[in-house]
Amino acid sequence: MLRGSIPLGRLFGISIRLNYTWFIIFALVTWSLSADYYPLAFDEWSWSTSLIAGIITSLLFFGSVLAHELMHSIVAQKLGITVPSITLFIFGGVAQISEEPKTPKDELRIALAGPLTSIALGFVFWAILYWLGPHSQFIEGVSWWLCWINLSLAVFNLIPGFPLDGGRVLRSVLWWRNQNLRRATKIASNIGRGVGYLFIFGGIFLIFQGLWINGLLLALIGWFLENTAQGSYQQVALLDMLYGHTAQEVMIRDCPAINPELTVDTLVNEHALTTGRRCFPVTTDGRVSGLITLHDIRAIPRPLWATKKVSDVMTPFANLKSVSPDDELSTVLRVLTEEDINQVLVVNNGDIAGIIGRDNLLSFIKLRGELGA
């Protein structure tokens, strides 16, 4: 999930969020339409009419972007893949899909859902233009731009460079041919990085031609594509490295339980400082009742440490994310990332089997990388 996002609600069980950077692109698109496109296309319009048309067009455009991402997400959900959220931001929209598709066919279906939605929306706005445009210049102007931009969005996304939809289509074909997701991702990502560099150089060229805004936006899009393509491959390579390994291989088994009646002061002085541990399972009658971390402790003012009990500060077990010893490390990584936590309990039939911190997982990954295993 992109940080600094405003929750707007939920659609089809998916959280819809608005990143603060979205306001930048919304303002730019609205200004471009209101001050450039509409005054040139309809010179008899007043400034207020152009501004209203610009705002409405921008909102419908980003609604179209949301529909594009939402269709990706709905298809992914139908295929059993969790989609926690969709975030609109400066470069458009991004769906947070929790895992890679299971087959090349699934990848193809998810990838094509977005562009097909944009094409369908393009024809919807063309139909509005055809039927209602002759009766209203306002509807004509808005529907024509939205028709053109949705069809352009579909074409742009079908460029065969990962992580664009066309790159995902290419990856699905390569994956189907060689039966190797990591290799297919590497090829598609390299093409995506190449596309990103072309956009960057194209943007620089436009800047030297005096088209500062267009050039800067194109260069930024290229930079984003290049970085995302590289990051996407690294993520797949990482998951491939974790494949077949389970939580019990990495977890720390020596997890001394803490009594919930201990004061925070006692916990810090007799356990945290003497052992160097950053988190402690809390048990009641031999069963896990919660977890207390240094983050929880820091949230309590120092003068209250002598009176506050562990049970007052800990995170209850019902609110904790846990994994089982047989869960794959890719699952552990997803839990740590999605929940933005630094450790996760490993629980077996209600008993603590161990604990995995981010540092344990990173050490495992680093060691395998160094050994080439």
3-state secondary structure the chain: CCCCEEEEEEECCEEEEEECCHHHHHHHHHHHHHHHHHHHHCCCCCHHHHHHHHHHHHHHHHHHHHHHHHHHHHHHHHCCCCCCEEEEECCEEEEECCCCCCCHHHHHHHHHHHHHHHHHHHHHHHHHHHHHHHHCHHHHHHHHHHHHHHHHHHHHHCCCCCCCHHHHHHHHHHHHHHCCHHHHHHHHHHHHHHHHHHHHHHHHHHHHCCCHHHHHHHHHHHHHHHHHHHHHHHHHHHHHHHCCCEHHHCCECCCCCECCCCEHHHHHHHHHHHHCCCEEEEEECCEEEEEEEHHHHHCCCHHHCCCCEHHHHCEEHHHCCEECCCCEHHHHHHHHHHHCCCEEEEEECCEEEEEEEHHHHHHHHHHHHHHCC
Q: How far is CA 263 from CA 104, 149, 214, 278, 329, in A?
A: 55, 62, 60, 16, 34
Active site (annotated) includes residue 107: no
Over 178-244, what HEC string results? HCCHHHHHHHHHHHHHHHHHHHHHHHHHHHHCCCHHHHHHHHHHHHHHHHHHHHHHHHHHHHHHHCC
Catalytic residue among 69, 100, 107, 226: 69
- Nearest CA to 165 among 114, 121, 116? 114
Residues annotated as catalytic (active site), given as ranges: 69
